[in-house]
Amino acid sequence: MKTICAVLIGLLLTLPATAAERPFDSAGSTALTTGQGRPNIVLIFADDLGYGDVGCYGGKLTPTPAIDALARDGVRCTAGYVTAPVCAPSRCGLMTGAYNQRFGIQWNDDRSKYNVGTHKVLPQALKAAGYVTGHIGKWNVGADIAGCFDETFDTIDWEADYFPDKDGHYYGVDSATEHASSKRQGLWGPERPGEEYLTDRLGRHAVEFISKHKRGAQPFFLYLAFNAVHSPYHAPKQVEARYSQLQPPLNYFAAMLASLDENVGRVLAAVPENTLVVFASDNGPAKMPVQKWPEGWPTNVLAGSAGPLNGHKGQMLEGGIREPFILRWPGRLKGGHLYHQPVMTMDLYATFLAAAGAPVPAGTKLDGVNLLPFLTGAQPGTPHDILFWKNAEHGAVRQGDWKLVLSPWPPKLQLFNLADDIGEKNDLAAEKPELAEKLHKAWLDWGATLPPRASPAPAKAGKGKQTAAPGSAEKIQERTALFATKDRNNDGRLSWEEFFSHQADETTLKSRFKGWDADTDGFLSRDEFIHMSGKPK
């Protein structure tokens, strides 16, 4: 019987990429277990971590021995992508196994207005297949977390303080109303002895979940979504001297990264052998400043590193969408292996289901594919012929070594050969116009299949129709750039504080803010700001 089961699991790992889209029958699901049983699955997801931040991807700021060891013992993907360069749509793609745009979420300002409908998210699919499911940390997905997981801890919507207040509460954690942190930057803590750093707290809860379930009758799935290394910049004071040679925010960032790595190590030490572990992040490094930036701190800098890549969080350049992407499964995936073909975080859904011998739920359509046969070498070729990214008129498409970056203003199309130009410095669109147009058409055809955005350009107050952009394309470009400067927390909308920052005429600006806020939600979306959606009263 053990021999038969071993053969069946071997066949599973050689299934073609589309196999994860085919439902297994109940007998097949039961049979797809080895003598060890089905694997436990741990997905570790960082926040705002750049491609060049960890040692195994060339990072030099601070050692990351745990993440490096994960790569040494597993498969390190050098072209691992996310579905969007900002957190909410990126996490939607991860949890749905599909392009986030299929659910009407293209940017962070869509995040509270979309839902996934009948589509089952990853933990729901694994729960239905008999897995005990747990979530720790940042969620930021348009599905009810309580209905997705058996157990949840330290739930964060967007960002949170790393140290508790005097009442022991971490601002932004386990709250229905606190969607952001306190915005206090530059804290070496704790301020009161004995208080736990939030990254340590998340790591501790992860180890406790693993210890509780690793000897149980059911396999477990743990989604450990650290909020590190996202702002606010808070770090443990016991390591302050270690990073004193660095200027802020990098001294805080380095300490936060070191703590992230330390807690990855705690988790790796706790998991049983038959565990598939994946490490990745939601988007590239963030550009500073963020809200409530301390006087004297540098501006127009990255917290973190994109390594050899161009761009950062919020951009369709490689630095915004290419991430560390590591998979380890002892006895199944060869340790120390480098995989160079493009893969995407939306592939993890199909990959985990294949590893678990689980069916794709009814009403769920995946764009991601099972990576296991590609990573083992059983399946030749590349998991994806073509990959897409989109936010309104901004976008990108990659096919083979070629990548097209799209923008609503000149140069509208930029073409790069990533094999020769990973830093996207040499635009070849003028030299290869037919290729540029071919990729552009593919992007447009794909975009035509998508639903409208959950947060479309708002109607003018009292007019009931879409606003047109005032002035020239140059004016739109100018206001788009101004929006990016004001949107210090990169959440795709402007609070009153962000809108008013460093200006003097409060009365006039309050009237303007109210007039432009067409949907009266107390924030200005990108479109409301760019198109000045109402006339100042």
Indicate the residue among 352, 376, 400 that finishes a domain.
376
Instruction: Decide if pLDDT at 44 tops 50.
Output: yes
Q: How many residues does the chain have?
A: 537
Same domain, 208 and 128: yes
Q: Tokens in use for 172?
A: 């932004």
* Inter-helix orientation angle 250-270/198-213, to 10°: 10
Give the CA distances from residue 2 to residues 7, 95, 355, in Å, rounded to whole numbers and listed in that order. 9, 33, 18
The reply to whether 299 and 407 lie within a common domain is: no
Which residue bears the tokens 């959606």?
A: 533
Which pLDDT belongs to residue 511? 79
In percent, the amount of the chain with pLDDT more than 70 equals 86
Cα separation of 165 and 106, whole Å? 35
Are the C-beta atoms of residues 283 and 84 closer than 8 Å to each other? Answer: yes
* pLDDT tens digit sequence for 493-527: 888 777 876 555 666 778 788 888 888 888 888 77
**Per-residue model confidence (pLDDT) at position 332:** 96
Digit-coded pLDDT (tens) for 367-382: 999 999 999 999 999 9
Query: Does residue 57 or residue 468 have the better pLDDT?
Result: 57
Summarize the confidence of residues 193-205 as an average pLDDT: 98
pLDDT in tens, 144-171: 999 999 999 999 999 999 999 999 999 9
Examine residue 457 and state whether it is found in any structural domain, yes or no: no
Is 496 buried (19+), middle (13-18) or exposed (0-12) by CB count in 10 A? middle
Long-range CB contacts (within 8 A, 24+) of 404-411: 404/429, 404/436, 404/439, 404/440, 404/443, 405/316, 405/317, 406/316, 406/440, 406/443, 408/473, 408/476, 408/477, 409/473, 409/474, 409/476, 409/477, 409/480
Residue 455, domain member (yes or no): no
Q: What is the structure's pLDDT at 520?
A: 83
Q: Interhelix angle for 65-73 vs 250-270, to 10°? A: 50
- Judged against a pLDDT cut of 80, whether residue 536 lies above it is answered with no
Mean pLDDT across the stretch 209-223?
97
497 contacts 291 by C-beta, under 8 angstroms: yes
Shared domain check, 399 and 318:
no
pLDDT tens digits along 431-470:
999 999 999 999 999 999 999 999 875 444 444 444 434 4
Domain of 518, CATH number, reads 1.10.238.10
What confidence tens digit (pLDDT) does each residue in 219-253 have? Answer: 999 999 999 999 999 999 999 999 999 999 999 99
Which token pair is 136? Answer: 């720790």
Q: What is the mean pLDDT of residues 134-140?
A: 98
Looking at the fold, whether 484 and 443 belong to one and the same domain comes out as: no
**In terms of Cα–Cα distance, which of 254, 251, 239, 236 is closest to 195?**
236
| 504 CB burial (10 A radius; 0-12, 13-18, 19+) | exposed
Is there a single domain that holds both residue 169 and residue 214?
Answer: yes
Amino acid of residue 27: A
| 392-433 pLDDT, tens digit each | 999 999 999 999 999 998 899 999 999 999 999 999 999 999
C-alpha 283/C-alpha 260 separation (Å) is 16
**Cα 52 versus chain centre, distance:** 16
Mean pLDDT of 45-54: 98
Domain count of the fold of the chain: 3
pLDDT at 15 over 50: no
pLDDT at 457: 55
* Residue 161 located in a structural domain: yes
> Which residue has tokens 């509208």?
412
pLDDT at 30 over 50: no
- pLDDT band of residue 478 (cuts 50, 70, 90) is low
Residue 6, pLDDT above cutoff 70: no
Do 379 and 331 touch, CB atoms closer than 8 A? Answer: no
Q: 177-186, 346-355, 486-495: which range is least confident on average?
A: 486-495
pLDDT score recorded for residue 37: 79
**Is residue 453, in this structure, part of any structural domain at all?**
no
Any domain includes 452 = no
Question: Domain containing 415 — which CATH number?
Answer: 3.30.1120.10
pLDDT at residue 226, rounded to an integer: 98
Burial (CB < 10 A; 0-12, 13-18, 19+), residue 41, is: buried
Domain boundary among 447, 463, 488: 447
Distance CA 397, CA 357 (A): 32
Domain coverage including residue 480: 473-531
Average pLDDT, the chain: 88
Asked whether residue 307 falls in the same domain as residue 362, the answer is yes
Is pLDDT at 65 greater than 50 in this prediction? yes
Q: Answer whether residue 23 shows pLDDT above 80.
A: no
In this structure, the answer to whether residues 335 and 393 fall within a common structural domain is no
Which residue among 353, 376, 399 closes a domain?
Answer: 376
* Mean local confidence (pLDDT), 192-198: 97
Same structural domain, 324 and 298: yes
Same domain for 410 and 276, yes or no, is no
**DSSP 8-state class, residue 459:** B
The pLDDT of 93-97, averaged and rounded, is 98
Average pLDDT over residues 187-191: 97
CB-CB contact of 356 with 131 (8 Å): yes
- Does 205 share its domain with 277? yes
The pLDDT score that the predictor gives to residue 527 is 78
Give me 322's structure tokens: 């290419």
DSSP secondary structure letter of residue 488: T
Rounded distance, CA 442 to CA 375, Å?
A: 27
pLDDT on residue 504: 53
Q: How far apart are CA 399 and CA 64, in angstroms?
A: 32
CB neighbours of residue 478 within 10 Å: 14
Do 372 and 392 share a domain, yes or no? no
Distance CA 182, CA 269 (A): 33
Query: What is the SS3 assignment for 244?
Result: coil
> The CATH number of the domain where 275 resides is what?
3.40.720.10
Token duo for residue 383 = 């998991």
Within this chain, do residues 347 and 366 fall inside the same structural domain, yes or no? yes
Which among 159, 160, 161, 156 is positioned nearest to 176, based on CA atoms?
156
Q: E-assigned strands of 67-160?
A: 75-81, 132-138, 151-156
CA 293/CA 184 separation, integer angstroms? 8
Between CA 420 and CA 428 the distance in angstroms is: 12
